[in-house]
Chain A
């Protein structure tokens, strides 16, 4: 599931200032999607009955509806402020949204276009409606009635045009998703074709992107050149030798090869779920005088549940409360105009202030750039050298012609020799300069050949000395070789599939649970009892595959530990874990391997207790011990000593 919001929501205060990029000017950094589904007899044709469990059961139209339903739910999670509408075309009935604009002379009429859900931030009711259509065939049939005469594509496009311009006037991204199996809607009607092309041009001029999701049926392969190549625009289209644009065309969805039409369509739509937006476009300097252009993307970012908000309950139905702030002077509480505001730093109990020009100069460490200052071996980059999720870099020819080939050469070189570039990195004007490790990431595909991780360079922001914390003290007791060897056996047993981490297998359990509950509350449904959590280890498997090895390791640990204790001059120490001892007695020789305490501190504590010298220890030591043993302590030292004494008394 892709995407997350990029809204200008307040960010946590402890993050670095000025780090987020907003390169979109004033336009609302929002995305509006109209999901348009062709409702024609062929789209409604049931697939042939089959005994195969994996065979298609959905008509193309209902598969598309399911996709729309899923996309809507997903967008509520990932883009809670973005809009989505569902438009059916080719229907017998027509319906357009009630107009918010009283100036239209003529009532707008789009024959055979049926606006199922208005273009808006989805409401619970919209989700419910789609859900009922997806789950209830009879309900769906009411809406999915194809008209007897064909719909004009220019009407569909103009209808979308109107929805976008009235509902999402200034959205930075507006996209029309077209799901159809008809590659030539206007066969030989030249006039209709031309007017569709003209309406498509209108959408292009508006900045609306048409994403076509073609469906092939049976032996008929969808041919874009018949009609849709006149409708769809892409930035570089003049040169047939040009590489397919980065935002590649969706593949044609088909059923077969073990995947259903629904799965195929879902996968295609998922890859377009989030509009792609570069975070920055800056030069990458390989050496003095050699610069190429790169775009930076945020491909990895923690997606969090929405924050709680205020709700006003005194009205007819609960309403979301928006808040606005005004800046006021603390002393007089008068409202302050922006031009009056001065910035300064608290220092020595006062404010040391700077003029805006001085502040700007202070923060200016030069123009945004990635300047490579040299290369090092990847081995020399410690695992801990990271401060946040990296940026993904991909070349652009916008500012420097030839960037792509140079980037490619660098990428291949770094990947092959396992090197990284050390770079001075200012992603956006006035952002804090950092050093970054420029590392090569290779393309990763899934089983179906779909790209999971794109090929490119990654800029990993490195810590400065200021950011590196000192390691905490430890008590280093190096494990004997035998013990290590036994643990190696355990590790060998428990390799993840392919010995690699695949994030696709792990949805965020708390995020999913949050939205599941929220959805149930919003739709007035029963709340499920147990959450699905794929991040919980497969305990049964672990026990089966590695249990015996762990037990053996545990026995060896006990032996080695006793040996070590003896060598240090301590006597035999019984593992004090009471609970575990009980269990051991019940279950025979098998013993829980618990490398918990039993060390000097514990035994020393016991000695202090016997000698009655607990009070000679520091409060910190006592507290640490108490915390370890789960003894509740509070108050003065005497109280803590008493609590620890009580612990030993009840224990013996």
Chain B
């Protein structure tokens, strides 16, 4: 578990903090608060009960703090806004109200630090805590600098870290110097700096702190082993020649989840439907607890049904208590007693068992199908450490990977993994990824990319689908020129790779976190822009693009790629009727053998399509749709239970698609509404409302203006038309 923490923020709210300095657009306070809010919301987001935070206002209009420190000893104009406590939304709301520039510039920062020390001492006593005081000020009022040594000693003795962040403070290390500073401020800075130096604290300028905020915070997770056991080569139970090394496996990569949205509803007061849930319903949902005013969480009520042709709707509710466990084998239910469930499990023993070795050269990297792990020797055996080192180096020197069978725990399913050596100056381990079994590969076939075998079986080397020499060359030049390694920056630790994985941040995670924090503090103000850091790698680096401009132009010319206009994509059908491989003109056959006249029940969709193909004008299209409507009505009317519903909906789908494509949405809409009328008039048989419900669940509704520009139906109108109670 993470350590307990107690942090007190001292925030200067003196009236000078309300002024705007330099070319900033925000007041000193607002500017500095960006940093403070970032810290506070990050702590709130952890939801940790052991993160205590206190906030002291410095240079407040009034005085309100600890009873034992009297105001006339230089402790005036200091207010404790928040005692040390876990910060939640109510605290945030209170702080946003409290933290405003005051009308005074009186108040001593050192006194505030003393109060903060007292707060921490009172709260933490002698317990194990990480203690921190952060002072944010613009240093425009004097500090009482006489007892600095004593305070520094106290801070050190109590293990409290002091952080002083000053607005426009000079910081030669960061390279900031505020010219034309008043003598007073320089003196304050000097005092605070010497205090920090004396207690090994941190002293910095606000500009640096804010610029560092741009680097997203990465949550570090303590490594937890997912396997502890033997790495074997051979069977130690049977052969004395088997190798056994005690190893542990830890995740190397684990996709960090983005904050998840939860669902809720606005409370509606007393609701008469409250008693309407079925008895067999069980509740599922996330943790309970208040979500704030007027909001209620959503839970799932689950009910269970079995097919029953005699029941209305073809389904019957069953009680959960009557249910047993089992599996589906095809559509057959196979019941297995709870006590026998293990019968389908393969018996396995936890072990990492080497099957053999493969050449690194021949290893297909795209076969890796899981996140990666590391395998290290158990930490309590030096012999294992030496043994695995030999294994790692031997793999490396022979350019091999090991293929092994991994069972992480007794009884777990075995997986095959590849083990690769990793050797750094001070670290050695095996890297591991899972490999696919035979069943895990879909055998789709794709033609070769470097030659063409035609339909007629000819082998072609020059073709519009194959690159010519010019394209090959310009591609090669371009790829070489766009090499990111040319952008590696030189740092003290050697070369810094461009877009090293450690410098890339998940845009989604950090954007969501940023906006949650923003919304929590700023309520309905418009959201801040996307931080540059999150999308830095969404496009090629500008300097590189500029440098390769010519090469790209050459490539574009050689590639000669043409975008397909969107219209012709949609109207593909209208161009030429599809033909079989032989090119036989079936349409003309059709017109002689099966002249399209009437749409039959048995072959409705093809006949409908064929009818449309011979359609002369809008009237023909309307008539075809109308005819199909009759067939659909008959599907529904004669359906046993719901057996014919899907067929009816499929016909609607086809009709709708064609109507949109032929720019005659009205023909479909008229047909659909006629069906609705029939249903309401009982012409489709008893109890057909469920079918209409299915119609609404599928995207086969009225074609509105949003879907087709030729429609006369407004979106809202269309929505109403789809309800049975609607017009």
Indicate if the CB atoms of B252 and A384 lie closer than 8 Å. yes
Which residues does chain A contribute within 8 Å of B44, judged by CB atoms?
A: 347-348
Complex alpha-carbon distance, A561 and B420, angstroms: 24
Complex alpha-carbon distance, A140 and B622, angstroms: 52
- Looking at A63-71, A179-187, A270-278, the stretch in contact with chain B turns out to be A270-278
Which residues does chain A contribute within 8 Å of B468, judged by CB atoms?
A: 405
Which residues does chain B contribute within 8 Å of A289, judged by CB atoms?
A: 552, 556
Which residues of A448-492 are within 8 A (CB) of B?
A: 451-456, 458, 460, 462-479, 483-488, 490-492
A351-B291 contact, Cβ under 8 Å, with A299-B444, A300-B369, A433-B507: yes
Indicate if the CB atoms of A383 and B467 lie closer than 8 Å. no
For residue B560, which residue of chain A has the nearest CB? A402
A553-B366 contact, Cβ under 8 Å, with A290-B555, A308-B341: no
Indicate if the CB atoms of A504 and B428 lie closer than 8 Å. no
Which residues does chain A contribute within 8 Å of B238, judged by CB atoms?
A: 539, 543
Within the complex, which residue of A80, A323, A421, A557 is in contact with B303, where a contact is CB–CB below 8 Å?
A323
A641 close to B (CB within 8 Å): no
Indicate if the CB atoms of B580 and A499 lie closer than 8 Å. no
Which residues does chain B contribute within 8 Å of A501, judged by CB atoms?
A: 358, 363-364, 367, 403, 418, 435
Known: A331-B296, A362-B515. 20 other contacts (CB 8 A): A3-B442, A77-B439, A103-B601, A124-B332, A169-B647, A206-B605, A240-B454, A308-B325, A308-B341, A341-B298, A346-B291, A348-B87, A350-B290, A374-B544, A421-B479, A455-B446, A456-B446, A466-B216, A509-B346, A583-B240
Interchain nearest-CB distance for B701 vs A (Å): 11
Complex alpha-carbon distance, A305 and B346, angstroms: 12
For residue A126, which residue of chain B has the nearest CB? B330
Indicate if the CB atoms of A550 and B559 lie closer than 8 Å. no
B127 close to A (CB within 8 Å): no
A259 close to B (CB within 8 Å): no
A162 close to B (CB within 8 Å): yes
Which residues of A293-328 are within 8 A (CB) of B?
A: 297-303, 305-306, 308-315, 317-328
Contact with A along B307-330 (1 / 0, CB 8 A): 100000001001010111111111
Which residues does chain B contribute within 8 Å of A203, judged by CB atoms?
A: 606
Within the complex, which residue of B277, B303, B437 is in contact with A511, where a contact is CB–CB below 8 Å?
B437
For residue A461, which residue of chain B has the nearest CB? B255
For residue B267, which residue of chain A has the nearest CB? A331
A343-B263 contact, Cβ under 8 Å, with A334-B273, A351-B292, A463-B501: yes
B616 close to A (CB within 8 Å): no
For residue B228, which residue of chain A has the nearest CB? A627
- Looking at A39-47, A50-58, A85-93, A589-597, the stretch in contact with chain B turns out to be A589-597
Contact with B along A113-138 (1 / 0, CB 8 A): 00000001111111100000000000
Which residues does chain B contribute within 8 Å of A627, judged by CB atoms?
A: 228
Which residues does chain B contribute within 8 Å of A332, judged by CB atoms?
A: 267-268, 270-271, 273-274, 296
Which residues does chain B contribute within 8 Å of A585, judged by CB atoms?
A: none
B441 close to A (CB within 8 Å): yes
- Looking at B139-147, B206-214, B380-388, the stretch in contact with chain A turns out to be B380-388
Indicate if the CB atoms of A323 and B305 lie closer than 8 Å. yes
For residue A305, which residue of chain B has the nearest CB? B344
For residue B561, which residue of chain A has the nearest CB? A402
Indicate if the CB atoms of B323 and A473 lie closer than 8 Å. no
Contact with B along A218-257 (1 / 0, CB 8 A): 0000001100111111100110111111111000000000
Counted as pairs of residues, one from A and one from B, with CB atoms less than 8 Å apart, the total is 924
A560 close to B (CB within 8 Å): yes
Contact with A along B468-511 (1 / 0, CB 8 A): 10011001101110111101000000000111011111111111
A592-B485 contact, Cβ under 8 Å, with A100-B640, A108-B602, A345-B262: no
Indicate if the CB atoms of A78 and B439 lie closer than 8 Å. yes
Indicate if the CB atoms of A394 and B446 lie closer than 8 Å. yes
A353-B264 contact, Cβ under 8 Å, with A2-B442, A539-B239, A595-B381: yes
For residue A287, which residue of chain B has the nearest CB? B552
B597 close to A (CB within 8 Å): no
Within the complex, which residue of A206, A477, A491 is in contact with B606, where a contact is CB–CB below 8 Å?
A206
For residue A391, which residue of chain B has the nearest CB? B366
A16 close to B (CB within 8 Å): yes
B99 close to A (CB within 8 Å): no
Within the complex, which residue of B259, B386, B394 is in contact with A560, where a contact is CB–CB below 8 Å?
B386
Indicate if the CB atoms of B295 and A535 lie closer than 8 Å. no
Contact with A along B228-263 (1 / 0, CB 8 A): 100001111011111111101011111111111111
A152 close to B (CB within 8 Å): no
Within the complex, which residue of A162, A312, A601 is in contact with B322, where a contact is CB–CB below 8 Å?
A312
Which residues does chain B contribute within 8 Å of A490, judged by CB atoms?
A: 233, 243, 394
A606 close to B (CB within 8 Å): no
Could you list some 15 contacts between A and B, CB below 8 A? A125-B332, A165-B647, A329-B298, A330-B288, A349-B89, A374-B540, A386-B370, A432-B258, A455-B446, A467-B256, A477-B385, A477-B389, A510-B348, A565-B382, A624-B380
Indicate if the CB atoms of A170 and B650 lie closer than 8 Å. yes
- Looking at B6-14, B22-30, B164-172, B630-638, the stretch in contact with chain A turns out to be B630-638
A412 close to B (CB within 8 Å): yes
- Looking at A143-151, A365-373, A642-650, the stretch in contact with chain B turns out to be A365-373
Indicate if the CB atoms of B329 and A467 lie closer than 8 Å. no
B20 close to A (CB within 8 Å): no
Which residues does chain B contribute within 8 Å of A345, judged by CB atoms?
A: 259-262, 512, 516
Within the complex, which residue of B276, B285, B323, B520 is in contact with A321, where a contact is CB–CB below 8 Å?
B323
Which residues of B444-458 are within 8 A (CB) of A?
A: 444-450, 452-456
Indicate if the CB atoms of B328 and A479 lie closer than 8 Å. no
Indicate if the CB atoms of B323 and A375 lie closer than 8 Å. no
* Residues of chain A at interface, number, CB under 8 A: 287
A94 close to B (CB within 8 Å): no
Complex alpha-carbon distance, A354 and B556, angstroms: 43
Interchain nearest-CB distance for B661 vs A (Å): 14
Which residues does chain A contribute within 8 Å of B125, judged by CB atoms?
A: none
Interchain nearest-CB distance for A634 vs B (Å): 19
Within the complex, which residue of B463, B527, B561 is in contact with A406, where a contact is CB–CB below 8 Å?
B561
Complex alpha-carbon distance, A550 and B243, angstroms: 7
Complex alpha-carbon distance, A397 and B520, angstroms: 48
A465-B362 contact, Cβ under 8 Å, with A170-B649, A432-B508: no
Which residues does chain B contribute within 8 Å of A484, judged by CB atoms?
A: 389-390, 393-394, 397
Complex alpha-carbon distance, A477 and B92, angstroms: 51
Complex alpha-carbon distance, A558 and B369, angstroms: 37
Interchain nearest-CB distance for A214 vs B (Å): 13
B571 close to A (CB within 8 Å): no
Which residues does chain A contribute within 8 Å of B455, judged by CB atoms?
A: 237, 240, 242-245
Which residues of A16-31 are within 8 A (CB) of B?
A: 16-17, 25-27
Interchain nearest-CB distance for B1 vs A (Å): 13
Indicate if the CB atoms of A509 and B414 lie closer than 8 Å. yes
Interchain nearest-CB distance for B123 vs A (Å): 20
Indicate if the CB atoms of B582 and A225 lie closer than 8 Å. yes
Within the complex, which residue of A377, A412, A464, A593 is in contact with B243, where a contact is CB–CB below 8 Å?
A593
A194 close to B (CB within 8 Å): yes
Interchain nearest-CB distance for A173 vs B (Å): 13
Most chain A beta-carbon contacts within 10 A, residue among B256, B265, B281: B265
A496-B450 contact, Cβ under 8 Å, with A104-B602, A288-B552, A413-B472: no
Which residues does chain B contribute within 8 Å of A341, judged by CB atoms?
A: 263-265, 298
Complex alpha-carbon distance, A596 and B247, angstroms: 9
A469-B479 contact, Cβ under 8 Å, with A2-B443, A104-B601, A201-B606: no
Most chain B beta-carbon contacts within 10 A, residue among A161, A386, A424: A386
A651 close to B (CB within 8 Å): no
Indicate if the CB atoms of A472 and B241 lie closer than 8 Å. no
A464-B506 contact, Cβ under 8 Å, with A195-B593, A479-B389: yes
Within the complex, which residue of A169, A233, A243 is in contact with B452, where a contact is CB–CB below 8 Å?
A243
Interchain nearest-CB distance for A195 vs B (Å): 6
Which residues does chain B contribute within 8 Å of A124, judged by CB atoms?
A: 329-330, 332, 334
Which residues does chain A contribute within 8 Å of B121, judged by CB atoms?
A: none
For residue B387, which residue of chain A has the nearest CB? A595
Which residues does chain B contribute within 8 Å of A350, judged by CB atoms?
A: 88-89, 290-292, 295
